[in-house]
Amino acid sequence: MCGIIGYIGTQRAAPLIIDGLKNLEYRGYDSAGIAVLQTSELFVKKDTGKIAEVFSEKDLETIEGNIGIAHSRWATHGGVTKENSHPHLSNDGNTAVVHNGIIENYQELRKFLTENGFVFKSQTDTEVIPNLIQYFMQQGTSFMDSIKLAVKKLEGSYALAIINKNAKKLVAIRKESPLVIGVADHGYFVASDVPSFLDQTKKVVYLYENDMAVLNDKMEFFNIKDNLPVVRKIDNIEWNVEQAKKGNFEHFMLKEISEQADAIKLAISQDEKQIKEVADAIMHAKGIYFVACGTSYHACLSASYKFAKLANKHVNVALASEFPNYKDFIVPDSLVIALSQSGETADVLEAVKAAKEKGARVISLVNVVGSSLTRYSDETLMQNAGPEICVLATKSYTSQLAILTLLAYALAGKYEEGKNKLKELVNSIYYLTSTNTREHIKQLAERLRYVNHIYLIGRDLQYPTAMEAALKIKEVSYIHAEGFAGGELKHGTIALIEPGTPCIVFTSSENEKKILSNATELKARGAYIIGVGPNNNELFDFFIKVRESGEANSICQIIPIQILAYQLAILRGCDPDKPRNLAKSVTVK
């Protein structure tokens, strides 16, 4: 879940890759580092902390060299130390490597190299890679062949950028971790994600599984399994630079919350024929599985309610990491619908591979063009939400819900009705993201900023909303929050309610009486009740009005809590764009 970037071309590498690294900081911000080829020596600077703390403006101005690699780290192997930060060098100092992923057999390789005289300076799995390359080069093998031999020894996942002080090349390799090439007029970039170089070029080449790219004055591509050349086409990105920048917003999180009305418009601007074809595939499948992680899992759970209610269709919902428990039920007539904003979520990709092995059809819902999930799928619906930089999913979640709602209506033979209802929702979203609404919710954030626990309840469609709302609060403000089905309170959770405990209650016209009964039980124990829904009630100590939207309640009711989570983070001194211990793309299992 780290961010890597490299550059080779006619311009100075350091300013380009450090600026690019800042655009990747959502992928990891424990530490950062850079290696640049200066004449025939490698200049390396790395340390713990955020990128702006590790690199000064002076570094941008003084580091010479036209070939370089850089890395922002989210620690997996080894603590957050300068020694464990990337790039990692071979013992002879000739080869530098940055790595995203996990080398599963690194202990075995480390033991082998130690026995052959190599000394390790870090506790990371990555350090075995440059030393393996050195080991093979000491046997008289060329730099390029040594890389190929080293990679064949690796087990696990990796996106690699490699440079050597005696080779005017930048080598990039991917296996189960994302990597994309940027093609600029002045040279080539290699990076974990497109926003890193979007201000330099919109021309990209997506690397496939087991691809190796060799970049100098041209691009060459090989398959590292069979060592044969392959052809990869250049695509054009539709995103623009402004979409990937904060603009006038202080944080990406608030910007992306505020973009949700437009994101919904784009999400439902799907090809009608494709939506109906996917709905038909769902109708005729023998066993349907929604598979996702985290926020996307909550979207799947919400959609399962809509499919049941609107189209009388049962859908299984599985956490991607737990999907292997279902694989024996998968047959060729099964349909797996996989959701991932990035399209690189490791557990989702593993689940999809398991489904494909059983012959199932896979349809994915993804936000990133050219991602791994799009290539593993038989068909893909694009979210069209634009770049989402903040670690927390906001607009990508509501975009997923909009498309899944549209699918449910199409499955019921009511495509036009569904699309019109979602169009009507846009005005409500504009209101919910307005300055007035934000100021109203800020009053609640002031009241809750010092609490230790928040509980959230809902029934029916409001139950998945309660779960997602709890996730947003704890992800970014570090307040313990849990979402429950209203009917489950009496089965244990109500024991945790004390005088003043804040409880958020999601209501709708359909379930108002039942959920207010649960709210009454909480109120009787002294809870501070926050109502979110169409109607105020004397039970509520604080009320956030959200217009009744039927099956689209799941889209609009989450937005006030996204805002609340953001404001709690600000008041508590947390960075909403870069929550501790989290990274945007979970590319490790």
Task: Catalogue the active-site residues.
Answer: 2, 584
Which two structure tokens, joined as six digits, stand for 402? 């909009």
- For residue 526, the number of C-alpha atoms closer than 13 Å in the C-beta half-sphere is 7
Q: Rounded to the nearest 10 degrees, how much is the dihedral formed by the CA atoms of 52, 55, 56, 57?
A: -100
Cis peptide before 87 (omega within 30 of 0): yes
Q: Rounded to the nearest 10 degrees, how much is the dihedral formed by the CA atoms of 530, 532, 537, 541?
A: 20
DSSP, collapsed to helix, strand or coil, labels residue 190 as strand
Contact 217, 42 (CB under 8 A): no
Task: Determine the Cα–Cα distance for residues 518 and 535; give it in Å rounded to an integer.
Answer: 16
Contact 576, 254 (CB under 8 A): yes
Which two structure tokens, joined as six digits, stand for 524? 């009787």
| Nearest CA-CA partner of 477 in 504, 460, 454 | 454
| Nearest CA-CA partner of 288 in 341, 340, 328, 329 | 329
In order, the DSSP letters of 238-275 are ---TGGGS-TT-SSHHHHHHHTHHHHHHHHT---HHHH
For residue 350, how far is the Cα from the chain centroid?
16
Q: Where are the beta strands (DSSP E) in 345-473?
A: 361-366, 379-382, 453-458
| Nearest CA-CA partner of 406 in 483, 497, 307, 502 | 307
| Nearest CA-CA partner of 126 in 117, 113, 136 | 113
Contact 12, 65 (CB under 8 A): yes
| Nearest CA-CA partner of 220 in 146, 255, 170, 254 | 170
Q: Rounded to the nearest 10 degrees, how much is the dihedral formed by the CA atoms of 155, 158, 161, 167?
A: 20
Contact 288, 326 (CB under 8 A): no
User: H helices within 200-343, ranges in order?
Assistant: 252-258, 260-267, 272-284, 294-311
Which two structure tokens, joined as six digits, stand for 123? 């506790």
- For residue 330, the number of C-alpha atoms closer than 13 Å in the C-beta half-sphere is 24
Task: Determine the Cα–Cα distance for residues 393 and 206; give it in Å rounded to an integer.
Answer: 23
Phi-psi region at 526: left, alpha or beta (left = phi > 0; alpha = psi -120 to 50): left
Residue 207 DSSP class: P
